[in-house]
Amino acid sequence: GKLQKTYFNSKRKIVSESVPAKIQTTSKTDEYKPRDERKSFYKLQEERREQAERCVLINCPPKINEKKFIKQLSRHGNINNYFFYESFGMYAVVEFSEKDSIGSLREATNIPHSQHEATVPFKSRLLSIKANSGNQSFSQPSVQCLKQTPIGVNELIQKLSSKDSVDQQLYSLTEEYQLTEENVCLRFLVCSLLKDIAAAYFPECIIRPFGSSVNGFGKLGCDLDMFLDLDAISRGNIKQPAGGLSLEYQMKRTSSERSATQSILAVIGECVDQFGPGCVGMQKILNARCPLVRFAHQPSGFQCDLTANNRVAMKSSELLYLYSQLDRRVRAMVFSLRCWARVHSITSNIAGAWITNFSLTVMVIFFLQQRSPAVLPTLDQLRDLAEPHDKCTIEGNDCTIVSDLSKIQDQGNTETLEHLLQEFFEFYGNFAFSRLSINIRKGKEQYKPEAAPLHIQNPFEPTLNVSKNVNNTQLENLVALCQESAWLLQKGGAVGPGHNRDTPWGFAALLQPSVSQAARSKGRRRKTLEPASKRMKSLLESLKSSKTSAGAADSSK
Ligand code: GTP
Ligand code: MG
């Protein structure tokens, strides 16, 4: 692991004297490695899942003696890692080197009893540590808690304004917002705790995180999307009949896969609600296109969405992860634009006609495929690089993508982030949304197959539009904001180093509320429309020529 030695030596010294624990402190998930040193998505997920099974989550009194705490837990086995954080109280995540240590710890753990309350006797890996009265050892200086939420926008604007270039601003924003190694570890732990509940019915099940928790674009505080994977149950299903007779399980039958998913989620959701310690506010949203149960996991502070039978979403997460790892600029662009969109209410926490973070991310990827040379490969190129073991078909759709990152050639694009950002705003400020669809599989715009204000082809389900929910007003807001931001960045981007650092400049200036107000006022919009028409003309021309060369294949989409 990448231990941050300086921190280890200075602040955790007391611990290292008595406990041979390897302590990892806040580390960034961002460290940029060459492609051939990067782990495949599945390998990384499997490692984290296995690690989570060796972890416990412990609620601690606010003033705990770290040294004694760790020493006490070490009686049950070697501790690999641990950290503290706050969420309605103080918690510690403790990772043992062996899973068996948890059994030993459990044997030493009591069931709480109070004369006034009853408990559901479900024993999980969420524990509490109590300070025995009169035990002085627990009233020591408090421990260092790792933050699990990002800084506010105003503080961010200030921070970015002190940077020397727009590129530095974007990288700095990414550093501030991205999930830490510990936060990811906590996400896998919550999945693992929920799996223990679901395993009462389905011992072979796995609860896997997907979406922004694993796709490389997760921001501290983002929701935890999970899916209940029951595939392991049917794996290796074909057994040789012994003596001519074959045995079969009798199973409950349902009318469709969807209704099976709904009843499984209803029951698991009920168990989580009734028996899951710390799980509150259960909502069962079973009639959605993708049925889910939603609840809050208080000890972690995560808003949780649990789905089942959702392999395509997992594949989309893998795809985004792959793109996020190919070039350092990708994450910086996506984090910054997600932040920009959120600040100006282009995206929202509530479902509605807004553009989702997922759609916005696909738009950024598409834009980066348009550069010359391209920053990112097309999905078809990723499929063509795949090896036989990468082959994947889900519900009749070819979802094959290469898993070995080192096979993907860098095209040598060296544009600065500032330039790419400027071009992004101009690209979408002038895009012919009314006729064209965004398609990252081909890396080329296509004619829209259906009338929707914004059409973004779903990467793995080509008949679906990922931005079907977006209405005209929301699209217009996005376009206006792009135009306004293009104009401002061009004007203000020049304010480089040496300016007054108290005034927001560069990307920081684009995060101010005045930007969206200006974008909505018509006067400003006209100003930027001039270059728009010019670009539109050239776009149309390029389209005409691509149509004649690509023939009917594209336009039939
Ligand atoms: P956050 O906004 O940070 O939560 O980003 P997210 O990527 O996790 O988005 P969200 O929680 O809305 O959705 C989780 C995952 O579901 C996404 O990463 C996608 O893989 C998938 N997803 C979300 N919206 C759509 C959609 O409209 N179509 C399809 N096919 N998949 C979607
Ligand atoms: Mg999410």
Each residue's pLDDT tens digit, 334-385: 999 999 999 999 999 888 999 999 999 999 999 999 999 999 999 999 999 9
The reported pLDDT for the residue numbered 39 is 80
> Two tokens at 277?
């310690």
143: CA distance to ligand 2 center in Å? 31
The reported pLDDT for the residue numbered 550 is 38
Going by C-beta distance under 8 Å and a sequence separation of 6 or more, which residues neighbour residue 367?
423, 424, 427, 428
The reported pLDDT for the residue numbered 14 is 31
Q: Is 412 left (phi over 0), alpha (psi -120 to 50) or beta?
A: left
Q: Is the pLDDT of residue 322 over 80?
A: yes
The pLDDT of 44-62, averaged and rounded, is: 96
Among 98-102, 118-122, 519-523, the range of highest mean pLDDT: 98-102
Count of CB atoms situated within 10 Å of the CB of 543:
18
356: CA distance to ligand 1 center in Å? 8
Q: With H, G, I as helix, E, B as strand and everything else as coil, classify residue 410.
A: coil
CA-closest residue to ligand 1 atom 20: 313
Picking from 163, 264, 247, 248, the residue whose alpha carbon sits closest to that of residue 508 is 163
- From residue 371, how far is each of 146, 250, 368 by CA, in Å? 39, 56, 6
Residue-wise DSSP of 485-531: HHHHHHHHTT--TTS-TTS--TTGGGGSHHHHHHHHSHHHHHHHHHH
Spatial separation of the C-alpha atoms in residues 37 and 406, rounded to whole Å? 8
The reported pLDDT for the residue numbered 5 is 31
Residue with the two structure tokens 């390029």: 542
* Choice among 6-15, 121-130, 233-242, 295-304 with the minimum mean pLDDT: 6-15
> Beta 79-86 vs 90-96: how paired, if at all?
antiparallel
175: CA distance to ligand 2 center in Å? 19
Give yes or no for a contact between 82 and 25, defined as CB atoms under 8 angstroms apart: no
The pLDDT of 416-434, averaged and rounded, is: 97
Picking from 216, 115, 127, the residue whose alpha carbon sits closest to that of residue 174 is 216
Q: Is the pLDDT of residue 538 over 60?
A: no
CA-closest residue to ligand 1 atom 26: 466
Q: Which atom of ligand 1 is nearest to the CA of 316?
A: 20
- From residue 274, how far is each of 207, 269, 279, 280, 505 by CA, in Å? 19, 9, 9, 9, 51
pTM: 0.87
Give the pLDDT band (50/70/90) at residue 540.
low
Spatial separation of the C-alpha atoms in residues 176 and 10, rounded to whole Å? 23
The reported pLDDT for the residue numbered 12 is 34
Distance of alpha carbon 4 from the chain centroid: 24
Each residue's pLDDT tens digit, 181-223: 999 999 999 999 999 999 999 999 999 999 999 999 999 999 9
Average pLDDT score, the chain: 86
CA-closest residue to ligand 1 atom 21: 313
203: CA distance to ligand 1 center in Å? 28
Give CA torsion, residues 100, 301, 341, 174, to 10 deg.
Answer: -50
* Choice among 31-45, 77-91, 390-404 with the minimum mean pLDDT: 31-45
Which-ligand-closest: CA of 349? 1
CA-closest residue to ligand 1 atom 13: 211
Going by C-beta distance under 8 Å and a sequence separation of 6 or more, which residues neighbour residue 334?
217, 324, 360, 361, 364
215: CA distance to ligand 2 center in Å? 10
The pLDDT of 286-295, averaged and rounded, is: 95
Each residue's pLDDT tens digit, 480-489: 999 999 999 9
Give yes or no for a contact between 139 and 63, defined as CB atoms under 8 angstroms apart: yes
Exposed / middle / buried, residue 237 (Cβ in 10 Å: 0-12, 13-18, 19+): exposed
Which-ligand-closest: CA of 342? 1
State the DSSP code for 58. E
Spatial separation of the C-alpha atoms in residues 57 and 61, rounded to whole Å? 13
Each residue's pLDDT tens digit, 493-522: 555 555 666 789 999 999 998 888 888 874
Greatest distance between any 2 Cα atoms in the chain:
86
The pLDDT of 70-88, averaged and rounded, is: 95
CA-closest residue to ligand 1 atom 29: 466
* Choice among 6-20, 123-137, 264-278, 389-403 with the minimum mean pLDDT: 6-20
Q: What angle do CA 90, 93, 97 make, to 5 degrees?
A: 155
Percent of residues in the chain assigned helix, strand, coil, to nearest 5: 45, 15, 40
Helix 417-429 × helix 522-550 angle, to 10°:
90
Residue-wise DSSP of 106-154: HHT-PPP--SS--------SEEE--PPTT-GGGSSSPPPBPP-SPPPHH
Give the pLDDT band (50/70/90) at residue 272.
very high
381: CA distance to ligand 1 center in Å? 23
* Choice among 78-82, 135-139, 188-192, 363-367 with the minimum mean pLDDT: 135-139
Q: With H, G, I as helix, E, B as strand and everything else as coil, classify residue 307.
A: strand
Q: Which atom of ligand 1 is nearest to the CA of 222?
A: 3
The reported pLDDT for the residue numbered 235 is 80
Spatial separation of the C-alpha atoms in residues 285 and 46, rounded to whole Å? 29
Task: Write the ipTM.
Answer: 0.95
211: CA distance to ligand 1 center in Å? 6
Among positive and negative, which fits the CA dihedral 472, 477, 483, 489? negative
> What residue ranges line ligand 1, CB within 6 angstroms?
210-212, 215, 222-223, 225, 313, 316-317, 356-358, 458, 466
Q: Which residues of 55-85 are buried (b: 16+ CB within 10 A; e: fewer)?
A: bbbbbbbeebbbbebbbebbebbebbbbbbb
